[in-house]
Chain A
Amino acid sequence: MADEALFLLLHNEMVSGVYKSAEQGEVENGRCITKLENMGFRVGQGLIERFTKDTARFKDELDIMKFICKDFWTTVFKKQIDNLRTNHQGIYVLQDNKFRLLTQMSAGKQYLEHASKYLAFTCGLIRGGLSNLGIKSIVTAEVSSMPACKLNLHFL
């Protein structure tokens, strides 16, 4: 599908563009991830406005999470989240076994150290979406084996 390739290539260029304009060092790596995450935040805010303009209000947090895992993920990545776990006290773990932005990279351990750069934007996307739905949160991602990834949401 043309639009999927467009977003993928644009996202890849964004990541390498942010990193090219920074210098070497651990601090810079963190700053670049923050920049990407903030970009995703603003995009997520806008996207959620657009996607929910015709839906009813959400009953509770779990309902919001289900929306993110099903409709939101399908609209952005053409598939649903594979696994959602929660402790019902504000911590949610989303698992995607074939994350769209990572499937082309590797199927295992190669390039693992670069994976977090490509997840920063998506973390911001979720955080922005949740913030416009009235939830402050912290979103982090971990990748142990490509292309599966886990997103940890912590509601504040």
Chain B
Amino acid sequence: MTVHNLYIFDRNGVCLHYSEWHRKKQAGIPKEEEYKLMYGMLFSIRSFVSKMSPLDMKDGFLAFQTSRYKLHYYETPTGIKVVMNTDLGVGPIRDVLHHIYSALYVELVVKNPLCPLGQTVQSELFRSRLDSYVRSLPFFSARAG
């Protein structure tokens, strides 16, 4: 059980942060293109899910999975999107993504006057705290499963 990588986007599609822990295969396109692809896909899936839902929508798009990995999605009312790719053994992790948003992003980036909103996060403190938080998660193992 492990975490592959993590993206954080803002409401305009700017990738605020990306980190990876276990990624055996790259996308084959430059990082900028990859972020745009990811954001475009999320945007489309969100509107698709709300349009085609046969019942009243509660939370909307939460996750998708393939035969190799699972993508978890969490969006805040301010449009910040936290996306985490894990392997298949991991259940719903909404509270983990919420913690990443509230205890890490809000505390260390929003409250940091030297981190302008809407740009990639440069703060070393944010990067290191996020890294140690993800490594401390119960479903993270140092060896890719």
Q: Give the interface of A toward B (CB within 8 A).
A: 5, 8-9, 12-13, 15-16, 104-108, 110-111, 114, 118
Interface pair B124/A118, CB less than 8 Å apart: no
Query: Could you say which of A12, A104, A111 has the most chain B C-beta atoms within 10 Å of its C-beta?
Result: A104
A152 to B113, CA, bound (A): 25
A110 to B127, CA, bound (A): 12
Give the number of residue pairs across the A-B interface with Cβ within 8 Å: 33
Q: What are the residues of chain A within 8 A of B124 when measuring CB–CB? A: 106-108, 110
| Besides A8-B111, A110-B123, A110-B124, 13 new A-B residue pairs in contact (Cβ under 8 A), listed by A number | A5-B111, A9-B111, A13-B113, A104-B107, A104-B111, A105-B112, A105-B114, A107-B124, A107-B125, A108-B124, A108-B125, A111-B123, A118-B113
A12 to B107, CA, bound (A): 14
Cross-interface CB contact of B113 among A5, A16, A107, A108, cutoff 8 Å: A16
Query: When A and B form their complex, which 3 residue pairs have the shortest distance between CB atoms, in order from nearest?
Result: A12-B113, A104-B111, A110-B124
A110 to B114, CA, bound (A): 10
User: Closest approach, in angstroms, between the C-beta of A153 and any C-beta of chain B?
Assistant: 26
Encode B96-135 as 1/0 by CB contact (under 8 A) with A: 0000000000011001111000000001110010000000
Q: What are the residues of chain B within 8 A of A108 when measuring CB–CB? A: 124-125
A106 to B124, CA, bound (A): 7
A21 to B90, CA, bound (A): 51
Q: Tell me the nearest residue of chain A to B128, going by C-beta.
A: A107
Interface of chain A, main secondary structure: helix
Q: Tell me the nearest residue of chain A to B129, going by C-beta.
A: A107
A13 to B123, CA, bound (A): 18
Encode B9-38 as 1/0 by CB contact (under 8 A) with A: 000000000000000000000000000000
Q: Tell me the nearest residue of chain A to B111, going by C-beta.
A: A104
A82 to B113, CA, bound (A): 25
Q: What are the residues of chain B within 8 A of A15 when measuring CB–CB? A: 113
User: Closest approach, in angstroms, between the C-beta of B119 and any C-beta of chain A?
Assistant: 15
Q: What are the residues of chain A within 8 A of B111 when measuring CB–CB? A: 5, 8-9, 12, 104
User: Closest approach, in angstroms, between the C-beta of A100 and any C-beta of chain B?
Assistant: 11
Interface pair A104/B112, CB less than 8 Å apart: yes
Query: Could you say which of A12, A111, A118 has the most chain B C-beta atoms within 10 Å of its C-beta?
Result: A111
Interface pair A106/B123, CB less than 8 Å apart: yes
A5 to B107, CA, bound (A): 9
Q: What are the residues of chain B within 8 A of A104 when measuring CB–CB? A: 107-108, 111-112, 125
Q: Tell me the nearest residue of chain A to B116, going by C-beta.
A: A16
